[in-house]
């Protein structure tokens, strides 16, 4: 079945550092890919998405490119802020069924 | 436009008790979902619905029941609560196309003692 694998965390960075969170997927078809973010005590919010190969999703300085050849959707940000501290989930959706990775905890220190 | 709302926010149950988690959306979405999130894990699908009167099991349906009498509401029923059902429960909704974004409620934190 479909599955999503994220890099193991937690990830701890200093403010203004470069962020990469790796995400790879296995799918039988051509899914849409998502990054969701969960701030402490809150529900999941959509951060960005890409619906086909080579699409780049971007939002709030975060980017991810849908790479079909490597089945990857890595999340990047050039300069993280303390307010980016959260749990990040990579996910894929295919015919309405959303499959999540296990989540990566990001902590950014001043 | 409130989006997806869930009640209650927190609840403590004793083993064997029952309760209903409420979920309402005001976006006229056909699809609705219930997930549970265990510590350090991603979300697992419990049940979903593609429209009023239609529900189906997800990955982890045992111990739960759902109903969908209206487009807006999708309650989740726990019968005979067990400690293994201690989790955070999220409701979500989306439009009925395969790649559409799901919108999540704020969650219900349930503890079964």
- Is a pLDDT exceeding 70 seen at residue A9? yes
Cβ atoms of B16 and B81 within 8 Å: the answer is yes
- Is a pLDDT exceeding 80 seen at residue B99? no
Q: What is the distance between the alpha carbons of residues A74 and B83, in angstroms, rounded to a whole number?
A: 36
- Looking at residue B97, its pLDDT comes to 65
Each residue's pLDDT tens digit, A65-82: 999 999 999 999 999 999
Each residue's pLDDT tens digit, B37-46: 988 778 899 9
- Looking at residue B63, its pLDDT comes to 95
Q: Do B31 and A96 touch (CB under 8 A)?
A: yes
Which of B44, B12, B21, B18 minimizes the C-alpha distance to B106?
Answer: B21
CA B68, A33, A101 angle in degrees (round to 5)? 80
Cβ atoms of A26 and A2 within 8 Å: the answer is yes
pLDDT band at residue B76 under the 50/70/90 scheme: very high
Q: What is the distance between the alpha carbons of residues B20 and B32, in angstroms, rounded to a whole number?
A: 16
| Best A3, A8, A27, A44 residue to mutate vs chain B (most B CBs within 10 Å) | A44
- Is a pLDDT exceeding 90 seen at residue B22? yes
Q: What's the whole-number mean pLDDT along residues A20-40?
A: 92
- Looking at residue A69, its pLDDT comes to 94
pLDDT band at residue A42 under the 50/70/90 scheme: confident
Interface A-B, measured as beta-carbon pairs within 8 A, has a size of: 56
Q: Do B101 and A42 touch (CB under 8 A)?
A: no
- Looking at residue A89, its pLDDT comes to 94
Q: Do B90 and A44 touch (CB under 8 A)?
A: yes
Q: Is A93 helix (H, G, I), strand (E, B) or coil?
A: strand
Q: DSSP string covering chain B, please?
A: ---EEEE-SEEEE-TT--EEEEEEE-S--SEEEEEEE-TTS-EEEEEEEEETTEEEE-S--TTEEE--SSSSB--EEE-S--GGG-EEEEEEEE-SSTTPPPEE---EEEEE-
Q: What's the whole-number mean pLDDT along residues B78-102?
A: 87
């Amino acid at each position: 079945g479909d599955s999503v694998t994220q890099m193991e965390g937690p990830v701890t960075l200093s403010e203004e550092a470069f962020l990469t969170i790796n995400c790879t997927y296995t799918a039988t078809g051509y899914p849409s890919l998502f990054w969701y973010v969960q701030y402490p005590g809150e529900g999941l919010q959509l951060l960005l998405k890409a619906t086909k190969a080579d699409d780049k999703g971007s939002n709030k300085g975060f980017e991810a490119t849908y790479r079909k050849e490597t089945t990857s959707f890595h999340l990047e940000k050039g300069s993280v802020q303390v307010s980016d501290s959260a749990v990040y989930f990579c996910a894929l959706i295919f015919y309405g069924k959303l499959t999540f990775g296990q989540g990566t905890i990001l902590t950014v220190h001043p | 436009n409130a989006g997806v709302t869930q009640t209650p926010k927190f609840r403590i149950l004793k083993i064997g008790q029952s309760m209903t988690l409420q979920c309402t959306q005001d976006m006229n979405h056909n699809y609705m979902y219930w997930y549970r999130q265990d510590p350090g894990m991603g979300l697992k699908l419990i049940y979903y619905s593609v429209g009023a009167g239609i529900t189906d099991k997800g990955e982890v349906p045992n111990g739960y029941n759902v109903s969908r009498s209206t487009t807006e509401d999708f309650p989740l029923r726990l019968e005979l609560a067990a400690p293994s059902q201690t989790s955070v429960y999220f409701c979500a909704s989306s439009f009925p196309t395969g790649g559409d974004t799901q919108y999540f409620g704020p969650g219900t934190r349930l503890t079964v003692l």
